[in-house]
Structure 1
Amino acid sequence: MKKPLRIDRAKAAAIFIDLQEEHRRDERYLVEGYDTVLGNAARLQSAARRSGIPVFHCAYIVDLADNLRPFHPIGPDGRSAFSDKDDPLTAICPEVAPLPSERLLVKNEASAFGKSPLIGELRDAGVEWLVVAGVWTEACVDATVKDAINLGLHVLLVKDGCGSGGLAMHQTGILNLANRLYGGAVVGTEAACALLEGDTVEAWRVEGSVPLRYTFENAAKLYGEL
């Protein structure tokens, strides 16, 4: 259900998850509509910076010398099958790259929280609302959002600031998160930018438990109504 929402900008931060070149240039890991995702992420970053809202960035980079999760996929060359530390395509795309003053968190797991100091830094800054954009929707975005909720943060999920390997993967990933986005909200980029600039907007907020009972036939419609 959509309700009016306003965010205290002094208690907000934004995080951009894994907006790396491999999702634009590696044929195995292309994100559908990635240029649109990057353009929306750039708009969100600009709005956050204008309002003095902290901006965090994540990059998924795998070093096989680290203790990785069991069954991590390895390519025929003996390197990580994705996001290998020696692959230049792990670089953040230049149009959404961190400013020198912004925090870049390197991770080798799905969630931006995991073993990182992120939650401590957010709490030290008094952050209550975390604006989330990035890729892939059903993987690293999903894990980050769920951890954020479990850690007591309100999540503003920017649906068109996220993307995945296919439209169905992305849309159902957003719907799955929306069904359990307790304390948070789902918006598009335009509404998110307005919130970051101090305005009140109509935002979709979950009521009850699992209200979006989507099917193959109606998933796109429900996504569009968020």
Structure 2
Amino acid sequence: MAQEQLVRVPARPSAYTFEPATTALLVIDMQRDFLEPGGFGESLGNDVTLLRRTIAPLRGVLAAARAIGLTVVHTREGHLPDLSDCPPAKLQRGAPSRRIGDPGPNGRILIRGEYGHDIVDELAPTADEPVIDKPGKGAFYATDLDGLLGERSITSLLVTGVTTEVCVHTTVREANDRGYECLVLADCVGSYFPQFHAVGLAMIAAQGGIFGWVAESADLLAALTPSAGGGERRGGSR
């Protein structure tokens, strides 16, 4: 692989280097039910504005990824209308004002095909971007994500989405066990709990990057659009 093909991003615990041809941008669960009023997130008593802060930086990353032809994959958490894929342990968890499957202002909560289940308008997938529907927190559980990535020879993942400590963390752990090298973009993932967000990111990069790397989206964008001479784009090893 030619040295010029590598992109090097300042990150924790060390620089993260990837080849665009074998890298995918993974956008996890940026759905109305989590990010907009009246959805499941708000029904649990959460402040959805804490998640909406991720939209603007993620739009920038998404545009850059599309501009260089990076593989982009979106995920949505949700269930079949009859709830046959939603175990009681999940359905009965907590005491929300609305449970999964209950009617809400955007349709039945976290049910596939409903308006609230879909991705927010600002980050809507293009026709050629795969959307993985998942019944669990991890994007690899009961989905064909691993096969899809394998077909495209993807070995590195740029991870974004919500929430940091739940679906993002679960997916990064699953990806790590499967051999993918993950860079989590700190300002493009979010949580209803700022303290969980901070600790979740620290856990990923701890112990020499036990689950992956953490960086800011501005550093990724700078690496993708280097100044004359291409200093940052010519990377070394991780």
Per the TM superposition, whether the score is higher than 0.5 is yes
* Residue aligning to 1:25: 37
Between structure 1 and structure 2, the one with the greater Rg is 2
User: 1:179: how far off?
Assistant: 2.1
- Contact 1:154/1:184 (<8 A) preserved: yes
User: 1:77: how far off?
Assistant: 7.3
* Residue aligning to 1:41: 58
Relative to structure 1, the CA distance from residue 41 to residue 67 in structure 2 (aligned partners, 3 Å threshold; closer, same or farther) is: same
Check if 1:11 corresponds to 2:11. Answer: no
User: 1:76: how far off?
Assistant: 7.7
Q: How many residues align?
A: 203
- Contact 1:130/1:153 (<8 A) preserved: yes
**Which residue of 190, 197, 203 corresponds with 2:218?**
190
- Contact 1:32/1:167 (<8 A) preserved: no
CA offsets per residue over residues 67-94 of structure 1, 9 Å max, x none? 3334122478775365234752222101
Structure 2 matches for 1:123-162, cutoff 5 A? Answer: 123-162=150-189
**Which residue of 89, 92, 96 corresponds with 1:71?**
89
Alpha-carbon distance between aligned partners in 1 of 2:211 and 2:22, rounded to the nearest angstrom? 15
State percent identity of aligned pairs. 24
CA offsets per residue over residues 33-80 of structure 1, 9 Å max, x none? 333201111111111111111000011112243233341224787753
Matched to 1:69, the amino acid is: P
Structure 2 alignment gaps of length 5 or more: 1-11, 103-108, 227-231
Check if 1:107 corresponds to 2:125. Answer: no
Q: Please, which moves more after superposition, 79-88 or 105-114?
A: 79-88
- Contact 1:31/1:164 (<8 A) preserved: no
Alpha-carbon distance between aligned partners in 2 of 1:169 and 1:144, rounded to the nearest angstrom? 16
- Contact 1:18/1:135 (<8 A) preserved: yes
* Residue aligning to 2:105: none
CA offsets per residue over residues 142-181 of structure 1, 9 Å max, x none? 1100000000000011111000112112112212222264
* Residue aligning to 1:80: 101
Relative to structure 1, the CA distance from residue 96 to residue 62 in structure 2 (aligned partners, 3 Å threshold; closer, same or farther) is: same
User: 1:122: how far off?
Assistant: 0.9
- TM-score w.r.t. length of structure 1: 0.79
Structure 1 alignment gaps of length 5 or more: 206-226
Matched to 1:24, the amino acid is: E
CA RMSD, Structure 1 to Structure 2 (Å): 2.6
CA offsets per residue over residues 118-152 of structure 1, 9 Å max, x none? 11111221111100000011110011000000000
Secondary structure at 1:25 match in 2: coil
User: 1:192: how far off?
Assistant: 2.2
Q: Please, which moves more after superposition, 165-174 or 108-117?
A: 165-174
Alpha-carbon distance between aligned partners in 1 of 2:154 and 2:66, rounded to the nearest angstrom? 15
- TM-score w.r.t. length of structure 2: 0.75
* Residue aligning to 1:61: 78
- Contact 1:4/1:200 (<8 A) preserved: no
Alpha-carbon distance between aligned partners in 2 of 1:73 and 1:183, rounded to the nearest angstrom? 29
Relative to structure 1, the CA distance from residue 35 to residue 76 in structure 2 (aligned partners, 3 Å threshold; closer, same or farther) is: closer
User: 1:95: how far off?
Assistant: 0.6
Matched to 1:125, the amino acid is: R
- Contact 2:24/2:71 (<8 A) preserved: yes
* Residue aligning to 2:190: 163
Q: Please, which moves more after superposition, 4-13 or 97-106?
A: 4-13
